[in-house]
């Protein structure tokens, strides 16, 4: 997963590396980009997609690259954006825990950081592996890191590209650097007054526009882009579904046609000028040594501060992994002054204002264990109530205090310290692994509120009621106008209303800028960043139409079940998806194969149920007799072309799996009437109902508007 293996691909001598004279070159309006080849994969690293956000462009919206760069030798690992990484202290939990966390590379601190960092990497099949006339679908990666850290240098997609070649379903991979922590997500009324909020999301959207304009030069199809992310990257993918009211077009064409979300979706926050957000801004401002009577003066100070001073100030707030683990200091926050990200995510879902595209979305079984490790101060149930209530400031219009919701939610994970908290996480481990009195309960609550239960909440509002496959969903949208506000209405996404899938279609107008319900006035001229004013201009309410909502697939990964203390924890999917986990070859192959099929055909099961089966293998499909025809060979000794798998950079499975066992099974769509999950186990793919912890989910669903950071 780390690009350290790619260093040998791109910069160090190797018998398999292309000589300079034969290195791949691509010409675009900005210049000629020269990459390198290793095995069957061409790589182009560090291509700028925006003007450097330095000097007066610091803390401003990204601007498209205008200047020509002539010839760019894109063969070295590019600079990462400024990082805010805190090490996970595992000293009291043993070497096995430390090794497991280190193996994900998720929490690794990268070198070569700086503000001039808005670049992207492209990896594709090398010449000879595809036809010159082919236009390949594109997989667009957004890294995670709690909106505090992350870098393209951590991810090498060579294994994914090789797998796509082996399956005769080749794809192109794009990964992007975007600004994180205070450089990309600093909140506050000052920035809202300039329209300079959620800059990291704006970086991502600009990179998508760059792909739309340039990826054809690499042999990619700009009309077949799938956006993919993990953790905060997955939350970003979700945000792109609701940005601009769900309008994801650029120059009249969709920027993406499908989405994959691994361990992240909806994250509830208060708006950019709310008290918790303003406190983060004020802390950074103070630690940077900035003050002034006006927003212009304060921002001018931040923009002229030397880089080390601002970086230290950015790191002066609570970190992702700390005794305040749940405190995301720099999440995206709705900006009521701007129509880019103006609506609360749960309101956008419940009003049907999202991009209508097919989706894969899933979780690791024990998402919260790694985040609960530093919370050793939690000894009693009262400690738990006090600690978690502190993260969700009360909404003035709410009749319930957050502590009441937390108390109700905690009751669904009974407090049984003498029994080892058997209902906590890592789940299904009885009384084992409770390394401090409230560890397993804290891990369960963090993982469920932030990641797992929110996934179910999103799917119930996003997806088809009956699992009908709708691959054309992403092709149409329409726009309506209300007063002076243009609203991109996605009412076609609304599934039929049922008791399990209620939509707030006609909520009353609210005036609180922290309200989770009601219509939102998107006209920035009618609001001030420090509060809200009532207006006669509102977003029109919506009603169900007859269009088919998006098709979704969902999963739960359990392949690390039984691993002490951590279980299948957050970020364990990264080595699996990127082909770096040699002890989990079956889920690695399954995930890569399903995802590649989805990128190609908007269906993880492949393009045709009539296609011939080839060689099969792998102990998968134990819970299903249905076999995915195009994927039947994916765990065997040959790809769907019938040609021998060479392995290449993808770590082919020749000789590893038993060719006499079942092939990869059909992954059923997620339906509200039958919510099934693929269960990625260590030795097979099985299926399960998405009904676990129903009591916890009932509390979360009722109180989702109050679970906001």
183 domain-assigned: yes
Distance CA 430, CA 421 (A): 7
**φ/ψ (deg, to 5) at 687:** -135, 150
Distance CA 238, CA 425 (A): 25
275 domain-assigned: yes
Q: Are 366 and 562 in contact (CB under 8 A)?
A: no
Q: Which residues are catalytic?
A: 231
Nearest to 695 by CA among 385, 449, 412: 412
39 domain-assigned: no
Tokens standing for 318?
């609570």
* Residue-level length of the chain: 709
Alpha carbon separation from 656 to 217, 599, 635, 652 (Å, rounded): 38, 26, 10, 9
Can you give the residue range of the structural domain that contains 135?
83-604
User: DSSP state, 613?
Assistant: P
Which residues in the chain show pLDDT less than 70?
1-21, 91-92, 325-326, 393-402, 464-548, 607-662
Instruction: Identify the helix (H) or strand (E) that includes residue 208.
Output: helix 199-214
CA angle 684, 687, 692 (to 5 degrees): 125
Tokens standing for 56?
């007066």
402 domain-assigned: yes
Q: Are 670 and 553 in contact (CB under 8 A)?
A: yes
567 domain-assigned: yes
Helix 158-166 to helix 585-601 angle, to the nearest 10 degrees? Answer: 70
Instruction: Identify the helix (H) or strand (E) that includes residue 140.
Output: strand 136-142
- DSSP per-residue codes, 450-506: IIIHHHHHHHHHHS-SS----TTGGG--EEEEETTEEEEE-GGGPPPPBTTB----S
- The C-alpha torsion from 218 through 219 and 223 to 225, rounded to 10°, is -60
Three-state SS for 327-392 is: CCCCCCCCCCCCCCCCCCHHHHHHCCCCCCCCEEEEEECECCHHHHCCCCCCCCHHHHHHHHHCCC
Distance CA 235, CA 341 (A): 13
Tokens standing for 651?
């770590």
Strands 258-262 and 36-38: unpaired
Distance CA 144, CA 1 (A): 13
Tokens standing for 462?
């996003």
Q: Are 413 and 441 in contact (CB under 8 A)?
A: yes
Give the number of domains in the chain.
Answer: 1
User: Residue 475, Cα to own-chain centre: how many angstroms?
Assistant: 23
Distance CA 241, CA 237 (A): 7
**φ/ψ (deg, to 5) at 676:** -100, 145
Nearest to 553 by CA among 599, 491, 500: 599
Nearest to 357 by CA among 195, 513, 492: 492
Q: What is the model's pLDDT at position 475?
A: 44
CB atoms within 10 A of CB 371: 23
Tokens standing for 486?
């243009």
- DSSP per-residue codes, 517-573: SS-----GGG-BTTB----S--PPP----SSPPPPEEEEEE-TTTT-TTTSSBTTTH
User: Residue 112, Cα to own-chain centre: how many angstroms?
Assistant: 24
Tokens standing for 677?
């999950």
272 domain-assigned: yes
Nearest to 173 by CA among 643, 605, 668, 649: 649
681 domain-assigned: no
160 domain-assigned: yes
Distance CA 349, CA 347 (A): 5
Q: Report the helix count and the strand count for the chain, using DSSP H and E.
A: 19, 18
CB atoms within 10 A of CB 291: 10
Distance CA 637, CA 157 (A): 22
- DSSP per-residue codes, 314-325: HTTSPPSSSTTT
User: Residue 587, Cα to own-chain centre: how many angstroms?
Assistant: 20
- The C-alpha torsion from 635 through 636 and 642 to 646, rounded to 10°, is 90
CATH number of the domain encompassing residue 200: 3.40.50.1820
């Amino acid at each position: 997963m780390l690009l350290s293996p790619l260093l040998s691909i791109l910069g160090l001598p190797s018998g398999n590396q292309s000589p300079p004279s034969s290195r791949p070159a691509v010409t675009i309006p900005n210049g000629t980009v020269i990459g390198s080849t290793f095995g069957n994969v061409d790589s182009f690293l560090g291509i700028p997609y925006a003007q450097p956000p330095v000097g007066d462009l610091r803390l401003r919206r990204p601007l498209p690259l205008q200047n020509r760069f002539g010839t760019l030798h894109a063969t070295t690992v590019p600079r990462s954006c400024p990082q805010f990484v805190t090490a996970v202290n595992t000293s009291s939990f043993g070497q096995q825990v430390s090794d497991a966390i280190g193996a994900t590379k998720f929490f690794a601190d990268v070198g070569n950081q700086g503000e001039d960092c808005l670049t992207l990497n492209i990896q594709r099949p090398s010449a000879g592996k595809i036809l010159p006339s082919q236009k390949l679908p594109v997989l667009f990666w957004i890294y995670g890191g709690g909106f505090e850290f992350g870098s393209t240098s951590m991810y090498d997609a060579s294994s994914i590209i090789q797998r796509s070649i082996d399956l005769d379903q080749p794809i192109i991979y794009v990964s992007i650097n975007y600004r994180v922590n205070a450089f990309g997500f600093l909140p506050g009324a000052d920035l809202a007054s300039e329209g300079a909020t959620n800059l990291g999301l704006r970086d991502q959207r600009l990179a998508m526009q760059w792909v739309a304009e340039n990826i054809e030069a690499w042999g990619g199809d700009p009309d077949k882009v799938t956006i993919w992310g993990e953790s905060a990257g997955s939350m970003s993918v979700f945000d792109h579904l609701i940005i601009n009211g769900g309008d994801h077009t650029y120059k009249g064409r969709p920027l993406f046609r499908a989405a994959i979300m691994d361990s992240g979706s909806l994250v509830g926050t208060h708006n950019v000028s709310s008290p918790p957000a303003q406190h983060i801004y004020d802390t950074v401002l103070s630690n940077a040594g900035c003050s002034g009577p006006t927003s212009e003066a304060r921002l001018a100070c931040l923009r002229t501060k030397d880089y080390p001073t601002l970086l230290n100030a950015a790191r002066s707030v609570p970190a992702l992994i700390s005794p305040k683990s749940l405190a995301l200091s720099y999440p995206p926050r709705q900006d009521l002054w701007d129509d880019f990200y103006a609506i609360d995510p749960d309101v956008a879902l419940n009003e049907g204002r999202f991009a209508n595209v097919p989706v894969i979305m899933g979780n690791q079984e024990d998402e919260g264990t790694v985040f609960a490790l530093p919370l050793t101060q939690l000894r009693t149930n009262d400690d738990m109530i006090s600690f978690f209530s502190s993260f969700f400031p009360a909404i003035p219009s709410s009749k319930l205090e957050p502590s009441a919701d937390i108390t109700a939610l905690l009751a669904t994970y009974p407090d049984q310290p003498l029994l080892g908290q058997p209902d906590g996480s890592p789940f299904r481990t009885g009384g084992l692994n409770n390394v401090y009195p409230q560890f397993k309960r804290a891990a369960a609550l963090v993982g469920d509120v932030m990641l797992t239960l929110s996934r179910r909440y999103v799917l119930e509002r996003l997806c088809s009621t009956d699992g009908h496959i709708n691959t054309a969903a992403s092709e149409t949208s329409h726009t309506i106008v209300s007063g002076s506000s243009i609203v991109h209405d996605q009412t076609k996404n609304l599934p039929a209303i049922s008791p399990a899938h209620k939509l707030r279609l006609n909520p009353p107008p609210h005036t609180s800028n922290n309200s989770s319900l009601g219509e939102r006035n998107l006209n920035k001229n009618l609001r001030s960043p420090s509060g809200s004013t009532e207006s006669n201009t509102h977003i029109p309410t919506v009603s169900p139409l007859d269009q088919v909502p998006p098709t979704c697939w969902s999963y739960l990964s359990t392949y690390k079940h039984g691993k002490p203390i951590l279980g299948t924890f957050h970020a364990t999917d990264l080595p699996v998806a990127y082909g770096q986990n040699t002890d989990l070859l079956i889920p690695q192959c399954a995930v890569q194969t399903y995802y590649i099929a989805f990128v190609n055909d908007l269906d993880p099961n492949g393009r045709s149920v009539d296609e011939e089966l080839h060689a099969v293998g792998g102990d998968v499909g134990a819970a299903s007799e249905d076999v995915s025809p195009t994927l039947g060979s994916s765990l065997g000794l040959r790809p769907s072309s019938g040609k021998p798998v060479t392995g290449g950079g993808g770590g082919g499975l020749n000789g590893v799996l038993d060719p006499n066992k079942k092939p990869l099974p059909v992954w059923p769509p997620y339906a509200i009437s039958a919510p099934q999950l693929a269960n990625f186990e260590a030795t097979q793919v099985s299926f399960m109902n998405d009904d676990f912890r129903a009591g916890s989910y009932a509390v979360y669903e009722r109180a989702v508007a109050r679970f906001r950071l």
